[in-house]
Chains A and B, each alone.
Chain A
């Protein structure tokens, strides 16, 4: 309990510093957002009026305080420079899209990674071990945007055409418009709208597959070394000596204990996943946070950039906090040592 409280207490100042860093980053972006907004056809009067309306003439610290105040009290992330739209509404949709994609990628990568890692450890030194490791490494070595393109072309060539959208917009747009959350996949499953859910699953499959290569290799390597550690321990040897088949000894005993470090690694993968998502989303026109942040940088849309980065960082911190607490629950030793 004390451990948990301490971790949570540490996360708050961390997020505050993160918000400061992010805000400064927004200030440092070069260029004049007004010029970008009005393009070739802008007039100085239009630009001056717009700057005044956006409060761009206030001192930095004042704007920061206003901003943080808005975020904390009203979840108000300001308005986009690009089109005056509230950033929080954009973030809500974008976050859901990225979260579902990351979740689907983990759903594919974690079981596959744990299975392959365990197998690899059990068969250490054999050809299968090398092959499994080599494949995982190859997956993580291919630029993810290139892999995405290859996957699209391959899937299209066998008649799989569910791309460039989160679901079939022709058939399901009205249904989805009636949803209360932007988590289209999750909500359609919960509501029992299986036609929508199936369409979502189809559309998320290939992007998630491309993204899954990133955590797959790490989960597999982590599992392999954790299982190897456990295999060497006495209790596994004892089990084997008692006649438990090797496979069962590995899965029942070694794997179970090896899972703990693997859980931590999955938490740490959140950041890497979001990073990979920026590139994957671009290839698949997935309307998520990654493309949102990158386009905000290109447009010098500071409110959008600051909001997006803040949300990504907060997600990362919170996921790791949860993993940390979960770890404490799973491992009684940690709880005791902390208190």
Chain B
């Protein structure tokens, strides 16, 4: 009998075990810094850039809101506007001239936040020839075309002139893209004569005035921010309760939802987002964790292409509305999370109304289809993306539920799963029968949903956001009027009117609004989810 061989197997096993045990024994040993005061925020994906003017993705915004600040801010944890870098502001009677007064604040590089910095931050977005205009600024293009000029009228006073009155302007000044950046940082490496732009790669090492300053970025994996001692807001966060502010925040990518929950359970992470709905109960049952939620400002929708047969017929669209059970979609494709949406405006948004609902009613749907001359139903294709979005964790499964629901009236839906870029490209160019998409709020105003998604001016083939291609004149008139009305109650009335009309026409089906959810370790104090996105951690404390 060979006796040495098993021994050599054992030797290998011993080596493996030794490595493991050694690791276990040495681990947890002395770290390089005080690990206790580091807050780890685990999330599903990395940021794309940290330049507020050019990014559009939520993961970038989360980090940006901690490094840079806007003139108008929010009261912590609410959508209510509050002083930011500006302590006060006012508009002229005609709504065309806005004046902002700045507070005393410093950038992380030690320079002062002054009126020139504000002009720099806005001018560089407005003027493509500006040396700090390194890429097109999508938000500026979408929402700030009304800005005629930005001027410093004093060391701490800025005047903004608009070409026409724009009621949501105040709210839009709180948008992250309007963050004030340090001009000194931009200028620090001079201008590249070849391009005429500053050499400094601001998107990779931003400098702002927020509570945390940028330290380093290990791309695809983590971003490290350290507490900025000179933050003006530290003074009035005495009321923030016990504990100390984290000395450091690490934004760590943990791709899988399940693994992320495990990370916060084991203490590797302090805050996580993107929790599987079915795991929420598990987190709630864990005494060392806290679950924070907040109504979502997003909407997932099923857009029918109103320029294509048979969806050009409102009766067909209403029939579809009678067939699709939003509740089933919520139960199946959202695992019971979220809230059924009745109108294209999220419930937590001002101006939301319930325009009535169409319960699942197969007979009513069949009758409508007969009226429309389609007694045997029809065939069409649902275009759907292959990756989760903040408003739709499992797009494919939403499509499956719609397909199954429609089958009851003989409507045969094919599901075409494509990469997100292809879906957008097809939808913007009206190459679809129907598509599943969604929208997250940029600012807290119904305009951001109704105008963007359903006004006829946003239904331009090639660049449409209104991918239902719904071009109703009456709705257009209502939405324009609302933009120019400053009286809040009157505005909300106009939006209510528009929502009723949209419900009647059913150009698209709003499906589900997904609440924001975070799981925190118990040691995190004074954390609040921001309803309009971002992830501001300035007032957060660690025990």
Contact = CB atoms under 8 A, between A and B. Distances in A.
Interface string B123-136: 00000100000011
B194 interface: no
A201 B204 contact: no
A283 B256 contact: yes
A198 B27 contact: yes
Contacts of B128: 49
Nearest to B216: A177
Contacts of B30: 195
Contact of A41 (B49, B56, B387): B56
Contacts of B437: 40
Nearest to B258: A149
Contact of A205 (B20, B136, B267, B462): B20
B48 interface: yes
Contacts of B439: 40
Contacts of A82: 48
Given A85-B219, A163-B263, A205-B19, A44 B27 contact: no
Nearest to A252: B4
Nearest to B195: A53
Contacts of B422: 30-31
Interface stretch (B84-92, B103-111, B137-145, B359-367): B137-145
A89 B256 CA distance: 25
Interface in B200-221: 203-204, 216, 218-221
Nearest to B37: A170
Nearest to B143: A41
A112 B56 contact: no
A122 interface: yes
The main secondary structure of chain A at its interface with chain B is: helix
B33 interface: yes
A298 B463 contact: no
A194 interface: yes
Contacts, number: 212
Given A156-B262, A171-B33, A287-B220, A39 B56 contact: yes
Nearest to A94: B220
Interface stretch (B247-255, B375-383, B400-408): B247-255
B420 interface: yes
B12 A112 contact: yes
B254 A119 contact: no
A174 B216 CA distance: 10
A40 B221 contact: no
Contact of A169 (B6, B11, B138, B250): B250
B2 A122 contact: yes
Contact of B3 (A160, A171, A247): A247
Which of the four size classes fits the interface of chain B?
35 or more
B27 A202 contact: yes
Nearest to B204: A85
Contacts of A270: none
Contact of B9 (A115, A246, A292): A115
B328 interface: no
B491 interface: no
Given A43-B136, A164-B252, A164-B263, A90 B219 contact: yes
Contacts of A166: 221
A173 B138 contact: no
Given A170-B250, A171-B35, A122 B5 contact: yes
B326 interface: no
Question: Most chain-A CB neighbours within 10 Å: which of B8, B30, B142, B387?
Answer: B8
- Sort A-B residue pairs by CB-CB distance and give the 4 closest, nearest first: A171-B31, A46-B136, A198-B26, A36-B421
Given A43-B138, A44-B463, A201-B22, 7 more contacts: A40-B465, A47-B136, A163-B259, A169-B222, A173-B33, A177-B216, A287-B220
15 contacts: A30-B422, A31-B425, A40-B437, A42-B138, A93-B220, A119-B8, A152-B262, A164-B259, A171-B31, A194-B29, A195-B29, A199-B27, A250-B5, A282-B255, A283-B256
